[in-house]
A and B are shown apart, each in its own frame.
Chain A
Amino acid sequence: MLFLLIRRGLRQHLVSTAVAVLLVALGMGLVVSVFVVRAEAEQSFTRSASGFDAVLGARGSKLQLVLNGLFHQEASPGNITADDFQQIKSLGVVDRAIPIVVGDNFRGVRLVGVSDDFFQNLEYAPGHDYRVDQGRPFKVGEKEAVVGSLAAHQLGWSPGTTFHPFHGLDYNPNAQHSEIFTVVGVLAPTNTPADRVIWVPLEGVQRLGGHDPATFTELSAVLIKFKPNAGAAGLMLDQRYNRQGKRLTLAWPVASILADLFAKFDWFETALQALAYMVAVVAGASVFSAVYSSMSARKRDLAILRALGAHRRFLILAVLGESASIGILGCALGFGLYALIASTVQEILRTRVGVLLEPWAWNPVLVWGPLLMVGVSLVAGAIPAWRAYRLTVAEGLSPLS
């Protein structure tokens, strides 16, 4: 009977109920989105470091090196020599050192020159190697390419496709190289930025027409993976390149550099959180208004219930049940809204950065967010519930009887 009365109360004031539910949904969706997207974006970026621990590049910003080397964003701060690569590769603490060269694109999709051992037992995540799904890896010295899965989808390429690269990192239709490359393979999806570039042999980029012959052996960066248990390797190399040396920069540790990047946006996150909390408060006010007006309009009904033997506690439950129902319905809808926001952000990050957001990964806000909104709804229902509790039968029935 209680549920019947709650349902009836909600239906009788459908418009104000619907508005309150929508506002709770908005509050819930925003609160969860702000917290999850922020946390998950940082974790996704860290996960998407493609299995590398550090990036060695020309003297400059560590963040720029990470963005350029691992996320294929930004430009390289400069070049390093083949000797620098050989030197770090020969260090005992280094497990893998993968040289890369950037500087060309195909209609905005970046070409990354890389050594062929990129496709040989290199893990981008524990237990997952970079692997050519369709076709085969490129051959060193040949004008062949392996396309990341996202780039292949975007360009509509498959093994056998040929293309003329364009010079520069940004697409300029007037800067097309004459060389023809042939796609020989498509990289299996990795959900990392590796999916959104075109991988070619180092020489493929170094020796393209128009490039300065003096730079034919130069590299944009070296992606480094330390040996397991080489705990002090990063510290040692940090000392060597960043503190004692002046020509090169070692971007390490990647997670900390990315955390610094996200810290720069803390003010924005704070502003979004404030906005989300404000919407939550407005939602609470709306629940209060809906339940209060519903309760006032149904004073007579409540008095009838009392006259039929309903205890005051029953009336409190009926009123709080209404406000909690608004909160619960709003949260259910809020999860839908969150799914929409998260999938939009996920798609943007996936296609533009190559980072895969996991919106349903565990985050405490997925529990405390709904609890907060239901709690706000219950608090908003407290005053109407108290009024219902205090209502006397005579007061409720007086206008007509």
Chain B
Amino acid sequence: MDPTSALIVRDLTKGYPAPSGKWTEVLRIPLLELQAGQQVAIRGESGLGKTTLLHIIAGILEPDSGFVSVGGAAMTGLAESRRDRFRAERLGYIFQTFNLLQGLTALENVMLGLAFGKGADAKAALAALDRVGLAHRAAYFPHQLSTGQQQRVAVARALANRPCLILADEPTGNLDAARGREVIDLLRESALALGSALLVASHDPQVLGSFERVIDLAALNQAPPQEEER
């Protein structure tokens, strides 16, 4: 196994039972590889399986077959509790809808990113907030922040544990163009600074245009085309 690989996905398949009861394969990925520190965007329209792919890489879902390794360590075959631990320690995950916990302050939300791995550490969380320029908003609750600031808190949370791989699922989906651009720039700069690989799934041309390497999921995915959207 290549220790410089941030991500290897090989011969991965995933299917679901369709409403008709018929088993439907939604993902068949022969190979997807990211080197350490590499930044890649995956292009794909809604329903093509972007989120499913990211969930499998994150260990949230198990593939039906195939192999996934993150940072040189195999994710597939691990028990769920080990995958949870793995995710907490090695991965950062950014959602389209920010997914901050509303009752927690910005600092506490970032601490959550550390809580299940290295352990909640207010100092490290504050440093992560500082990296995204929001240390002065540490005590603010999400509803007291702008949408752009909320996504920056989400970025800080994903980066707080200094992951080897950051997964971002439509990270600008809820932002206007200017703020979207800011967040992507921030994400790329932060990932670069930490040496983390970055995999962004998006269908936003502006986002895709900012990456040197863009993978088309429709071309990567060998699963037969779906008749209806999942």
Contact = CB atoms under 8 A, between A and B. Distances in A.
Contacts of A305: 112, 116
Interface residues of B, number: 34
A304 B98 CA distance: 10
A178 to B, nearest CB: 79
Name which of A8, A11, A313 has the most chain B CB atoms within 10 A of its CB: A8
A393 B81 contact: no
B51 interface: yes
B31 to A, nearest CB: 25
For chain A, what secondary structure do more than half of its interface residues adopt (helix, strand, loop), or is it mixed? helix
A310 B84 contact: yes
Interface in B76-109: 80-81, 84-89, 91, 93, 95-97, 99, 101-104, 108
A207 B216 CA distance: 117
The size class of the interface chain A forms with chain B is 20 to 34
Given A309-B85, A394-B61, A304 B115 contact: no
Contacts of B61: 393-394
A401 B169 contact: yes
Given A300-B99, A304-B101, A401-B95, A1 B60 contact: no
Interface in B36-61: 51, 55, 58, 60-61
Contacts of B81: 311-313
Given A4-B104, A309-B116, A311-B81, A397 B95 contact: yes
B116 A304 contact: no
B78 to A, nearest CB: 13
A312 B169 CA distance: 23
B84 A8 contact: no
A307 B60 contact: yes
Contacts of B80: 311-312
Contacts of B124: none
A8 B51 CA distance: 29
B113 interface: yes
Given A1-B120, A314-B116, A8 B97 contact: no
Nearest to B173: A401
A107 interface: no
Contacts of A304: 95, 99, 101
A400 interface: yes
Interface in A273-322: 300-301, 304-314
Contacts of B87: 307-309
Contact of B116 (A4, A301, A310, A394): A310
B111 interface: yes
A215 interface: no
B104 A8 contact: yes
B101 A309 contact: no
A308 B112 CA distance: 7
Interface of B: 51, 55, 58, 60-61, 80-81, 84-89, 91, 93, 95-97, 99, 101-104, 108, 111-113, 115-117, 120, 157, 169-170
Interface of A: 1, 4-5, 8-9, 11-12, 300-301, 304-314, 393-394, 397, 400-401
Cβ-closest 8 pairs across A and B: A309-B88, A309-B116, A8-B103, A1-B115, A309-B87, A393-B60, A311-B84, A304-B99
